[in-house]
Amino acid sequence: MVLTPEENTGRPGFGRVRGVLERSETTLNPSTMAELEVPCAKPSMDDFPGDFMNQDMRAHGGIAVHIILALYMFVALAILSENYFVPSVEKIGDKLNLSKDVCGGTLMAMGTSGTELFTSIIGIFITKSDIGLATIAGSTAFNVLGIVGICGLSVRAIRLSRWPFLRDNLFNLLSVTALAVVTYDRKVYWYEALGLLFLYFVYVIVTLCNERLKGIFMRIRQPKEKFIATETELTVSERSHLIPTENNVNEEHVQDIKVIPPKGALPSSVHEKVSSWILWGIALPFTCLYYVTIPDCRKVRWEGWFLVTFFVSLVWMALLTYVLVWMLAIIGFTCGIPDIVMGLTLLAAGTSLPDTFSSFIVARKGEGDMAVSHANGSNMFNILFCLGLPWFLQTALFQVGSVVTVRNQGINFSVACLFASVVIPVVIVVLNKWYLNKCLGIALIPLYLVFIIISVLLGMNVLGQFSLKMCSS
């Protein structure tokens, strides 16, 4: 059996078979030939710079260095999001007079999802793998289940408005459906990528017409003579249980907010004091770097520089994401974990840290609609823009007429799980009478764990042969 170069084109792992056949004049027996014909996936680690360690050094303790660096990148991203990224996005939203739910679903989602965008770009143009697709799929499930669940556990009870929740989840379902259609044959063409971008453009248009569409929705939902326009859409009996405050937070939520001690106040215990000093020391390098490179738009002096804060934060996010993916690629190769599994789990949760912190912060302020809209808006930005843009650039500009191949054969199963992870929370929220509370959090967190377990089993080929085994570096 002789494999011609034409027959080998586009088939991963077969290049070495041709080389062996070209260099050998002997006839290979069927068992040897079958062994050589088994394809494998090139590890993403090979597309990054070296780490001055060999596999033996990493396997005997050196991997700890990469784990520490990866965790440090997570911390750096969290600090960047909380102190610079989110404040700049809030300033932009205020200047554009956007409502809280619209700001959360668009500007804040675009901002905090920068890590997913850069991960997708790295997957398409650098590693040539499915790590970007896997990361966004895992991040989508984490947003609707993990982040909303965490926000629910962090507050007592916040009433969610029906319109922004239904609006965002409708587009959420459309986004996942579009992803299923595009990846069904495991090939992505330029017009399919353009379709994803167009769908996100439609979502942005809908958010810009939010008030008009909301009015139509409320008129359909209730007769005009019975409709009372309120921001939280509460009936008289429901509003009687809430006590308005300056932050539009009910009394139970106010009791749940931790009071921030004044500057100079010491922790109440030695343990808390030591912990705070340790955390301060860990964060100090990046705190100093951010201080000298990013204008803090929270301060009066730099308040007008919020656009500079936003774009410089994006640059930092790109650099940190590159190092994070690099470290996780090395960790995955050393531990024998496929890129698809790393993307669905660690990388998805890590790149969603800015989203998690942002939603957590606004939820604790009593802005439940903004927190949930942010999580849902991040999903649409991830699927439609973070995947659509790199796919379109690759197939329509850099290699005109080319096709992006999805290597994971279990992608249809993963998208089906993703679709369920979007539908089920909607049902739970309705059954929970539209409240963001601990009951909702307790219901959603286990569902995310189920999604992770199924995804890992698929990625590790426990439930069937869905992924190529990793080649030796």
Q: What residues pair up with 159 in beta bridges, in sequence order? A: 435
CA distance 310 to 442: 34
Helix (H/G/I), strand (E/B), else coil: 134: helix
Place of tokens 């769908």: 199
The rounded percent of the chain whose pLDDT value lies above 70 is 76
Helix (H/G/I), strand (E/B), else coil: 159: strand
Q: How confident is the model at residue 265 (pLDDT cuts 50, 70, 90)?
A: very low
Over the stretch 24-37, which tens digit does the pLDDT of each residue have? 434 444 444 334 44
Q: How confident is the model at residue 129 (pLDDT cuts 50, 70, 90)?
A: confident
CB 82 within 8 A of CB 357: yes
> Which of the two residues, 3 and 375, has the higher pLDDT score?
375
State the average pLDDT over residues 325-345.
82
Ordered domains of the chain (ranges, CATH): 1-39 (no CATH), 43-459 (1.20.1420.30)
Over the stretch 146-202, which tens digit does the pLDDT of each residue have? 889 988 888 888 888 888 888 888 988 999 999 999 988 889 999 999 999 999 999
Place of tokens 């569409």: 213
CA distance 470 to 337: 8
Kindly report the number of other CB atoms within 10 A of residue 174's CB atom: 16
pTM (2 d.p.): 0.70
